[in-house]
Amino acid sequence: MKQKTILITWGMWYIWSHAVVAFEEAGYKTVIVDNLDNSCLSTYRSIWEILWYKPDFYEVDLRDKEKLEEVFKKYTFDWVLHFAGLKAVGESCEKPLHYFDNNVVGSLRLFELMEKYSVKNIIFSSSATVYNYDNEIPYVETQNIWETTNTYATTKFLIEKILNDLSKFSWFNVINLRYFNPIWAHQSWLIWENPEWIPNNLLPFIMKVAIWELPYLNVFGNDYDTIDGTWVRDYIDVVDLIDGHLKAYDLIENLDFSWFIDDFNLWLWNWVSVLQILEASKKAIWKDIPFKIAPRRSWDIAEFYCNPSKAKSILWWEAKTSLQDSLKNAWKFYNK
């Protein structure tokens, strides 16, 4: 059987480098395009150390259609895993036009070439932030998704809608995977989330405080209508998350018809508050995490988590790594 070739956008970034490794280990050929805007070439060496070879890589910005088309001319792609997109919520509210240009315009250039070269299968890395904040918690795939609270979420919503029409009118096979707060790293400890700058995500911030790289954690608000006044989220181990992408791929590969679109939540199904994750971190690493209460941020909401039951029933997927195990694994790396 012919080996399938998969284009992976932004495959050098923390989460998506895991997808490169997972799909290569599953027997697929991957081709990475990444503009290195939010990643670095050291990840390429880490992928090589895990696989013992380097998948094909091209430093290309998706908005540069001419350079991107050069990649499409070299390969016959069967699939696209579309991960490219800036993701810092706060920054997106400060620079909305930059996010629309990078995330939406870049996606359009990609979709144009997929149409031109008859690449009609795509898994899109969406986000649970597309759900209306006033939906009943936990969010499910049938709920409304048009009242977003920040520009990052709006870009994901717009791309989902574009893909919906491409599926309806251009016969694209589409799966939108919605998730939030992936944590920890590959079991090799060679690819992980360890930003050199001030982290946007909670777990690396906690770990950097634990190793005294940062003095304390800011907890943004303690007066929400939640169990302890701090906002509540769910988390998912990145290895489980990428397994969900493999399951989504298998679903469309095994279909008996040629047109498909669906959405799936990928979550651990174990939501916790900020103070609860601080307590869980303390138990996992045997260290107190200094923190200070800071003012609320305008884009935060009190509770944000989803129901992953649909993914379990249709994709035969569920998260297997507990939050406590993810925290212990993170500490092993940072402590080392």
Distance CA 202, CA 324 (A): 15
**Catalytic residue selected from 139, 152, 179, 249:** 152
Distance CA 248, CA 255 (A): 11
Furthest-apart CA atoms within the chain: distance in Å: 58
Tell me whether residue 152 is one of the annotated catalytic residues: yes
Distance CA 132, CA 31 (A): 35
The residues that are catalytic are: 152
